[in-house]
Amino acid sequence: MKASIVLAAITAFTLKASADCFSTRLGYPCCSGNDVVYTDNDGKWGVENGNWCGIDDTPSAAACWSLSQGYPCCSSSNAEVWYTDASGKWGVENGDWCGIPTGSTGGSTGGSTGGNVTPGEQYTHNGNPFANKDFYINPYYVEEIEGAIAQMSDSSLIAKAEKMKTYSNAIWLDSIKNMQSWLETNLKGALSQQNASGKDVLTVFVVYDLPGRDCHALASNGELLANDNDWARYKSEYIDVIEGHLKTYKSQPVVLIVEPDSLANMVTNLESTPACRDSEKYYMDGHAYLIKKFGVLPHVAMYLDIGHAFWLGWDDNREKAGKVYAKVISSGSPGKVRGFTDNVANYTPWEDPTLSRGPETEWNPCPDEKRYLQAIHKDFKAAGISSVYFVCDTSRNGKKVDRKHPGEWCNQTGVGVGARPQASPVSGMDYLDAFYWIKPLGESDGTSDESAVRFDGYCGHETAMKPAPEAGQWFQKHFEQGLKNANPPL
């Protein structure tokens, strides 16, 4: 509150408030009433006993019904309503769900609304899991975009960002805590939307917390280490909990993108990287365990990660990959796997006619994702894998980036949003289930701070945008460049 605003005609004295509020840090007491005299950036102000006092908008404990469910109360009774269930109205603040106080009308409605989150009859996938579905909108990403828009002044860029809010992307369950916060809440949100609309609503989650995660990189190492104690936690605190929620919410379609980068590391990096050798048992056993758990659920379709064209695209890598993936899928019997996902969190274009097998591509016969999937489809079929379908991550591959080597993966300059999420997007490729946004544009690949514990050398390379925050944190400059370079344009 500005010091120039005073009540000169009133003799001031301090009233000790019974509860703390925003104004106490500014040297003013809290109001006992709610009559607003003045509002500024700090909050709402009243006058009591001849002195300014702060009006506390924080909901009372009694009104904060979401606390009993492990979620905070929203800071305002006029928070935006993302969806409604039997408990009450839910909003999103600071990247987490919050309960809108009882008795409030709530603000504008976004996301999924409608209070019916009672699961119905068992849903069963039949064919392409993405076909004839409404795609669930990730409320956390919408909030990130709203925060990004608040930092923009260019009206054309703001319009592009607003369009981004209308497209679906995957929800990452990248820690036990995030899984606990996001899995059931978003299953409820999708189910509420489905029950209200009468249309099947598909939610896509990324399962991403293996012990020793990302063994060949530093920027995205996980919380669980490659040891037996954390392996037990992965099963009991992570996979088993996911299984329980999926069994409960059985009447809606779900897709799981499984453990990006893990099996591709088993194909290429066992001999060169000690951390990958240490993780091998947990990667292989982890996949077997989760396939047995999730692969028997008829409403759940799973896709195992296969890296990208400039990881497994060479003939010998694809041949070896066929053997590794066939073994993994067999180990998870009777669970079934729908197929595979490529280019997750990468930048390789879907088609790049400027490249061919030669010195520039280190003699890679698959220098774009289309040729990669065409080749690996044949190889996996030859390896005895019966269900070979693909989901390609097109969130950041709309424009050929500035990287000087196609293996560069960290915050690449020249980034552009790619093809929009769509089922069966390419004529003549009936084994391509979808283009989909798996890695959210704007979330960093890794920090460029060389002193950081999780600094990876790739994030310091010439074509990696700098300065960059830690992996998963918002990277405004990268997001804005992706909007400008979108192909097709936003």
Those residues whose C-beta lies under 8 Å from the C-beta of residue 439, and which sit 6 or more positions away, are 170, 344, 345, 346, 393, 395, 396
Q: Which of 56, 85, 174, 445 is flagged as catalytic?
A: 445
What sign has the CA pseudo-torsion 12, 18, 23, 25?
positive
Active site residue 209: no
Nearest C-alpha neighbor of 324 from the set 309, 310, 312, 342: 312
> Do residues 310 and 260 touch, judged by C-beta distance below 8 A?
no
Q: Is the peptide bond before 29 cis (omega within 30 degrees of 0)?
A: no
Give exposure, 450-477, as e/b (b: 16+ Cβ within 10 Å): eeeeebbebbbbebbbeebbbbbebbee
> Do residues 202 and 135 touch, judged by C-beta distance below 8 A?
yes
Alpha-helical (H) ranges within 348-489 are 369-382, 476-484
> Do residues 61 and 68 touch, judged by C-beta distance below 8 A?
no
Active site residue 261: yes
Nearest C-alpha neighbor of 482 from the set 167, 160, 168, 162: 160
**DSSP bridge pairs for 329:** none
**Side-by-side strand order, sheet with 89-93:** 83-84, 89-93, 96-99
> Do residues 479 and 157 touch, judged by C-beta distance below 8 A?
no
Instruction: Give kind and range of the element (H or E) at residue 252.
Output: none
Residue 101 C-alpha from the chain's centroid: 27
Q: Which of 56, 230, 261, 305 is flagged as catalytic?
A: 261
Active site residue 445: yes
Nearest C-alpha neighbor of 464 from the set 398, 401, 417, 418: 401
Those residues whose C-beta lies under 8 Å from the C-beta of residue 414, and which sit 6 or more positions away, are 399, 400, 401, 402, 403, 463, 481, 485
Q: Which of 214, 352, 368, 393 is flagged as catalytic?
A: 214
Question: What is the distance between the alpha carbons of residues 41 and 63, in angstroms, rounded to a whole number?
Answer: 25
**DSSP bridge pairs for 474:** 443
Q: From start to end of 208-299, where are the E strands?
A: 254-258
Q: Which pair of structure tokens corresponds to residue 152?
A: 């923009």
**DSSP bridge pairs for 93:** 96
Catalytic residue positions? 214, 261, 445
